Structure 1
Amino acid sequence: MTSVYEAAGGRDGMVRLAAAWHERVLADEVVSHAFSHGYRPDHTERLAAYWGEALGGPESGIAESDVVRMHSGNGPHEEMDRRAITCFDEALTDVGITEEPLRQVLHDYFAWATTTTMSQYHHSAADVPSGLAIPRWSWGGLEEG
């Protein structure tokens, strides 16, 4: 069976999706706040690699604990999360991912990651344990193990 990563276009597909999402969030008055401190010049490529690994692609070399820390210690931000998910859904359309079940699987992954792993440590980034593994997502959802 083809992985979600492969079905979404592999590395090139992930880069296109990450670029479309990043463009949308930077234009959003609420979500763009998350980038007001600046971001790495290779943010889009790193995001694409991270999503790729999570969706069945090659290892990215990105540490999950570092990613979660970057998203932690900012208190609850449900509106920002909802808007980031909306931007993701719009980015799916922007890059031509309209066919089911791929579109739904990608939406489910992003919504889950945004509202769980990236939102677990509201109080402090120091609460994030070291050694977390990037959660893997497939056609059936979160892979256990």
Structure 2
Amino acid sequence: MALYDELGGFDAILAVCRRWSELCLADPVAEHPFSHPHVHPQHDERLAAYLSEAAGGPKLYTGGYGTESMVRRMHAGNGPHEELDEICLRLFDQALVESPIPPEPAARLGAYFRAVAHDMTRYDASADLVPEGLAMRRA
């Protein structure tokens, strides 16, 4: 069984993404990137599509929104921001705990999310550092 199914599918993942956004918007440090006017109006749905695909679900992200290289460019070039990253990751873990997703698959998704977030720091200096054709990392 794919992690996607263990998590409960798209709706369960979307619920986690929506709760994470709520938690971040309520935090004085984490709200910064979530309150900018450039944030896509369907950020939660797009993130859920990305996480669903990474967890072995349907190709919802690469089938309609973009590529891994595009995702990394969107998040690149903002310089180091360790405190912000750590708060956002803690809040993602909190959203998982508050969800009805069973603990083991929730922990696997949380570990994946943390690993991808840390991997993205290699592009803190510039979006120009992101190569074309990156493959999506799977959970």
User: TM > 0.5 between the two?
Assistant: yes
Partner of residue 115 from structure 2, selected from 80, 88, 112: 112
Equivalent residue runs for 1:17-32 within 5 Å: 17-32=16-31
Greater helix share, structure number: 2
Equivalent residue runs for 1:58-137 within 5 Å: 58-59=58-59, 60-61=61-62, 62-99=66-103, 101-116=104-119, 118-137=120-139
Return the alpha-carbon distance in structure 2 between the equivalents of residues 132 and 29 of structure 1: 33
Return the alpha-carbon distance in structure 1 between the equivalents of residues 43 and 5 of structure 2: 21
Deviation at 1:47, TM superposition (A): 0.5
Q: State, as a whole percentage, how many aligned pairs show the same letter.
A: 44
Return the alpha-carbon distance in structure 1 between the equivalents of residues 13 and 107 of structure 2: 16
Return the alpha-carbon distance in structure 2 between the equivalents of residues 83 and 97 of structure 1: 21
| Matched residue, 1:48 | 48
**RMSD, aligned α-carbons:** 1.3
The TM-score normalised by the length of structure 2 is 0.89
Unaligned runs of 5+ in 1: 138-145
Q: Is the 8 A contact 1:92 1:98 kept in 2?
A: no
Q: Is the 8 A contact 2:21 2:34 kept in 1?
A: no
- Paired letter, 1:28: D
Q: 1:19-42, CA deviations, whole angstroms, 9 ceiling, x for partnerless residues?
A: 111111111211211123221111
The secondary structure found in structure 1 opposite 2:4 is helix
Return the alpha-carbon distance in structure 2 between the equivalents of residues 112 and 136 of structure 1: 11
Q: 1:108-134, CA deviations, whole angstroms, 9 ceiling, x for partnerless residues?
A: 111111111x21111111111111121
Q: 1:56-96, CA deviations, whole angstroms, 9 ceiling, x for partnerless residues?
A: 11112231111111111111111111111111111012212
Number of equivalences: 134
1:34 aligns with 2:38: no
- Paired letter, 1:112: A
Q: Is the 8 A contact 2:73 2:127 kept in 1?
A: yes
The secondary structure found in structure 2 opposite 1:120 is helix
Deviation at 1:98, TM superposition (A): 4.8
Unaligned runs of 5+ in 2: none
The secondary structure found in structure 1 opposite 2:134 is coil
Q: 1:34-53, CA deviations, whole angstroms, 9 ceiling, x for partnerless residues?
A: 12322111111111000111
Q: Is the 8 A contact 1:76 1:122 kept in 2?
A: yes
Q: Is the 8 A contact 2:25 2:35 kept in 1?
A: no
| Matched residue, 1:141 | none
Moved over 3 A (4+): none
